[in-house]
Amino acid sequence: MAGLRAFCLLLGLSFIGSAYGQGIAGRWATYGKEMWNGHREKAVIVLKQSGDSVTGIFESLTGKTAVHGTIAGNHFEIFAWDPRTPALTGDLVNRELRGTMFGKPFLAKPASPQDEIPKVEYVAPPPLHKVPYNGLAATPPMGWNSWNYFGEDVNEADIRAAADALVSSGMRDAGYIYVNIDGTWEGSRDSEGHLLPNRKFTDLKALADYVHSKGLKVGIYSSPGPYDCAGYPTSYGYEQQDADDFAKLGIDYLKYDWCSAEKIYRDDQIRAVYQKMGDALQATGRPIVYSLCEYGRENVEKWGADAGGNLWRTTDDIRDSWSSMIANVEKQASFAPFAGPGHWNDPDMLEIGNGGMTGDEYRTQMSLWALVAAPLLAGNDLQEMTAEAKSILLNKEVIAVDQDPLGKQATPDRKGDLETWIKPLADGGATVGVVNLGSSAATATIGASDLPIAGPVRNARNLWTHEDVKFSGGAYSAAVPPHATLLLRVFVTPNPPTQSRVSPVY
């Protein structure tokens, strides 16, 4: 995925440089847009030609991948990940590559030594051991993250405004306490190796103090590789120094994103690499929530907690669409046994309020994230929230399901278009969500005897209409519109302590 991002960096870029020799063989260089730290995006494509076959390597600051293709006359077609659609297609004209990359124009010229991607010295990750639990994230972390709405353009004023809005909207008091700065805050390192912010952030300490003054906590972002997914410098070779600097700034949460680390380490080294930062954070003595972001590689759910992680991404990046959201949450099913207080599966951030889904679809995201005990990190523009987005994010009954201290993750059971997720709760009751994955309304029936509850049903509540509903003959039925979720919380009258958890009798 980081590799795909590397290629995407080239979209809309103009290429410069010059290749050598005849044909397409040679080193081709590209420079893209100027970044916020004054550097330019760049990539080098090294190609070999044999007859009309072309093979090679594409390398940017953030990733590296093998490519292959053909050249017929002057026309080339070069493939990377997608075997059906060429990543690069165009013509070799006057010793320049001109054409399209993912449908957008590009131009490449031969590379000079200055164009090379900087090499870094390999530092082996440490031997494996278990990082002790830091005592944080007893329930899934809640807050806001800059990436889904602001992307690479986020600046200091946006972070302050988000902190203000968390307070004024009531979100802070509902539990959303982390204000997380995602990638592209980074500038470059000073002569002593300290990572300074780029020109969008003038004073990180003052910013962290401001966020703290609002009764909130502040998060930051880095990578175990030399660059983040957008090409900004990150923690490779500076792990302890960065952790110490984050602690001095007053950072409370670190998202650590694999990105260019794939150019340095093998996948089977991921645990050791994440453990290195887990140790570094603990050595600072400051409590810092540690969020692993490596898209679920190498069964992170099995070792994320041992690397010191409080949560770990299990999926590729979410997009603001129904299919992406559902795919991310459905991928959680087999990871349920690994979630619990202090260590959570992370199907990525909320898209609620970003405009790509309907109200029912966003209510479904909130319902499902609560059922799977996912971190609730809003990703919208908090200053311009619609009343509907606000009502979804601020549904305290749904938040309570997510934050239930038992920390159990629901798993799905699909029948036709209806998918049922059931989460046992600390009070002996349960929350059940029935999602309509189809395109027409369907009737959901919830049977009390199917619920993992510790006594007879006392009452049941629809968490979106905020009304009590009645089970009749041991069941409750209701119509569920397409892409909506029926979300019921069932409260029980606990059985006497000598009895074990049983299904209710009607």
**Is the Cβ of residue 183 or residue 433 nearer to ligand GLA in the bound state?**
183
- Minimal distance, residue 347 CB to ligand GLA, in Å: 12
Distance CA 487, CA 475 (A): 14
- Minimal distance, residue 24 CB to ligand GLA, in Å: 31
Q: At residue 348, what is the residue type?
A: D
Q: Does 228 bind ligand GLA (CB under 6 A)?
A: yes
Q: Does 257 bind ligand GLA (CB under 6 A)?
A: yes
Q: Does 182 bind ligand GLA (CB under 6 A)?
A: yes
Q: Is 468 a catalytic residue?
A: no
Q: Does 229 bind ligand GLA (CB under 6 A)?
A: yes
Q: Does 319 bind ligand GLA (CB under 6 A)?
A: no
- HSE-up of residue 433 (Cα within 13 Å, Cβ side): 27
Distance CA 433, CA 362 (A): 14
Q: Does 71 bind ligand GLA (CB under 6 A)?
A: no
Q: Does 76 bind ligand GLA (CB under 6 A)?
A: no
The pairing of strands 311-313 and 289-293 is parallel
Alpha helix locations (H) across 296-448? 300-303, 322-330, 359-371, 387-393, 396-402
Helix or strand run (H / E) with residue 443: strand 442-447
| Nearest Cα to Cα of residue 18 among 90, 85, 114, 84 | 114
Catalytic residue among 317, 360, 417, 427: 317
Q: Does 300 bind ligand GLA (CB under 6 A)?
A: no
Q: With CB under 6 A as the contact rule, which of the stretches 227-235, 276-284, 457-465, 489-497 interacts with ligand GLA? A: 227-235
Q: With CB under 6 A as the contact rule, which of the stretches 68-76, 94-102, 226-234, 408-416 interacts with ligand GLA? A: 226-234
45: DSSP letter: E
- Minimal distance, residue 152 CB to ligand GLA, in Å: 7
Q: Does 317 bind ligand GLA (CB under 6 A)?
A: yes
**Is the Cβ of residue 5 or residue 271 nearer to ligand GLA in the bound state?**
5
Count of residues near ligand GLA by CB under 6 A = 10
Q: Does 351 bind ligand GLA (CB under 6 A)?
A: no
Q: What is the four-CA torsion angle of 355, 358, 361, 365, rounded to 10 degrees? A: 30
- Minimal distance, residue 175 CB to ligand GLA, in Å: 21
Tokens of residue 223, six digits: 């990578």
- Minimal distance, residue 230 CB to ligand GLA, in Å: 5
| Nearest Cα to Cα of residue 147 among 326, 321, 377 | 377
Catalytic residue among 182, 228, 257, 320: 257
Q: Does 183 bind ligand GLA (CB under 6 A)?
A: yes
Report the residue from 43, 293, 410, 457 that binds ligand GLA according to the rule CB under 6 A: 293
Q: Is 267 a catalytic residue?
A: no
| Nearest Cα to Cα of residue 474 among 492, 493, 495, 449 | 449
- E strands in 73-141: 75-79, 88-93, 96-101, 104-110
Please enumerate in sequence order all residues whose Cβ is within 8 A of that of 204, keeping only pairs 6 or more positions apart, or say none: 185, 197, 220, 249
Dmax (CA) of the chain: 86
Q: Which of residues 111-150 bind ligand GLA (CB under 6 A)?
A: 147
Report the residue from 4, 230, 270, 444 that binds ligand GLA according to the rule CB under 6 A: 230
Distance CA 154, CA 152 (A): 6
Q: With CB under 6 A as the contact rule, which of the stretches 158-166, 202-210, 224-232, 481-489 interacts with ligand GLA? A: 224-232
Q: Which residues are catalytic?
A: 257, 317
Q: Give me the residues that bind ligand GLA (CB under 6 A), please.
A: 5, 147, 182-183, 228-230, 257, 293, 317
